[in-house]
């Protein structure tokens, strides 16, 4: 089935920008599992072609439009974050890099796993947890697994998670799974909650600090104003906006970024992050 897209959209940079962790490139197609659907997808110009299962493709098409945030007014967003000239330059260099609307529980686990870790290994851990504790789905002769539910991972427990290689993050994921099961952490409710409230609730979980809470908020809870500050962004902000100064503490950087980048700060952050990484890749 095909999706016709009448706005800036770049499948490759969007799927490979560190927001989603279960996409593999297999002969020109991206293969992944989104919200329980096995998706194989590729882009040719403004046309996106995909196969899906187990649900019918018409159902998956609706789901994918939501996943890719095609409901965003991307021109208004680009215009807003483009008030910053560095972001504007990156938007014109990489048009179509989008935020995704990922599943909150899966996103939460992925970003707990991101602590002091690299993207390749986060992908590996997410895939191992799925293979071990998720349910199999078959499509075009290939098998993938759904991402395990909180109950699945709570049942697996800390020791099993360590065995998969989560290391010191294993107890954090275990505890988060139990909090969701016990109703102490209500992720669907946080989608509707205001950003500060959602962030505070996430930070009650051990292993979720300010940065990881902001990642979960922007990628899965519809908080487009959230602005995750990681090593790349800290470096970029320090070098570009506070040159010749000692790097301000994150609290100060965050306050400044909220004010400077505004209500679509999450989009601006994604461009800064992606631009920095591509630049480094190009330098080598």
Partner DNA sequence: TTCTGCCCTTGGCA
Partner DNA sequence: ATGCCAAGGGCAG
Tokens of 45: 């110009």
Please say which residue, 97 or 154, places its beta carbon nearer to DNA.
97
What residues between 215 and 274 interact with DNA by CB under 7 A? 215, 228, 230-233, 249, 251, 269-270, 273
Number of residues that bind DNA (CB under 7 A): 36
Please say which residue, 80 or 230, places its beta carbon nearer to DNA.
230
Angle at 152 between CA 57 and CA 181, to 5 degrees: 105
What residues between 5 and 24 interact with DNA by CB under 7 A? 17-19
Cα distances from 217 to residues 30, 125, 226, in angstroms, run 25, 21, 6
What residues between 91 and 130 interact with DNA by CB under 7 A? 114-121
Pure H helices in 37-186: 57-67, 74-81, 85-93, 104-112, 119-133, 150-163, 170-181
Residues marked as catalytic: 211
The residue assigned the tokens 């939460």 is: 108
Supply the minimum distance, in Å, between the C-beta of residue 207 and DNA: 5
Cα distances from 135 to residues 26, 149, 187, 214, in angstroms, run 21, 10, 22, 29
Please say which residue, 134 or 207, places its beta carbon nearer to DNA.
207
Asked if 282 is part of the footprint of DNA (rule: CB under 7 A), the reply reads: no
Supply the minimum distance, in Å, between the C-beta of residue 56 and DNA: 31
Interface residue with DNA, options 208, 224, 253, 254 (CB under 7 A): 208
SS3 state of residue 50: strand
Q: Is residue 54 reached through a cis peptide bond, with omega within 30 degrees of 0 on the bond before it?
A: yes
The residue assigned the tokens 């686990």 is: 109
What residues between 156 and 185 interact with DNA by CB under 7 A? 162, 165, 167-169
Helix-helix angle 119-133:104-112, to 10 degrees: 130
Supply the minimum distance, in Å, between the C-beta of residue 247 and DNA: 10
Interface residue with DNA, options 39, 87, 190, 212 (CB under 7 A): 212
SS3 state of residue 142: strand
Please say which residue, 18 or 148, places its beta carbon nearer to DNA.
18
Please say which residue, 52 or 225, places its beta carbon nearer to DNA.
225
Supply the minimum distance, in Å, between the C-beta of residue 197 and DNA: 17
Angle at 48 between CA 44 and CA 51, to 5 degrees: 120
Contacts to DNA by CB under 7 A = 17-19, 114-121, 162, 165, 167-169, 206-213, 215, 228, 230-233, 249, 251, 269-270, 273, 284
């Amino acid at each position: 089935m095909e999706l016709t897209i009448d706005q800036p959209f770049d499948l490759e940079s969007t799927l490979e920008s560190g927001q989603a962790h279960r996409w593999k490139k297999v002969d020109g197609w991206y293969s992944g599992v989104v919200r329980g659907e096995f998706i194989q997808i590729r882009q040719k110009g403004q046309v996106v072609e995909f196969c899906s299962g187990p649900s019918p493709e018409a159902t998956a098409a609706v789901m994918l439009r939501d996943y890719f945030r095609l409901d965003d007014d991307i021109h208004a967003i680009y215009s807003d974050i483009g008030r910053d000239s560095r972001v504007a330059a990156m938007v014109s260099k990489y048009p179509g890099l989008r935020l995704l609307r990922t599943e909150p529980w899966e996103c939460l686990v992925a970003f707990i796993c991101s602590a002091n870790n690299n993207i390749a290994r986060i992908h590996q851990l997410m895939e191992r947890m799925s293979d071990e504790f998720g349910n199999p789905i078959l499509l075009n002769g290939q098998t993938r697994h759904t991402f395990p539910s909180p109950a699945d991972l709570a049942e697996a427990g800390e020791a099993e998670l360590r065995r998969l290689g989560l290391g010191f993050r294993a107890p954090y994921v275990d505890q988060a799974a139990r909090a969701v099961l016990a109703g102490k952490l209500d992720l669907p409710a946080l989608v509707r909650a205001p950003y500060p409230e959602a962030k505070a609730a996430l930070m009650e979980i051990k292993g979720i600090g300010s940065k990881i809470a902001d990642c979960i908020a922007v990628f899965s809870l519809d908080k487009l104003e959230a602005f995750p500050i990681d090593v790349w962004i800290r470096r970029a902000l320090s070098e570009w906006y506070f040159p010749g100064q000692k790097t301000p503490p994150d609290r100060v950087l965050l306050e400044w970024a909220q004010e400077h980048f505004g209500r679509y700060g999450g989009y601006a952050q994604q461009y800064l992050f992606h631009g920095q990484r591509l630049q480094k890749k190009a330098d080598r």
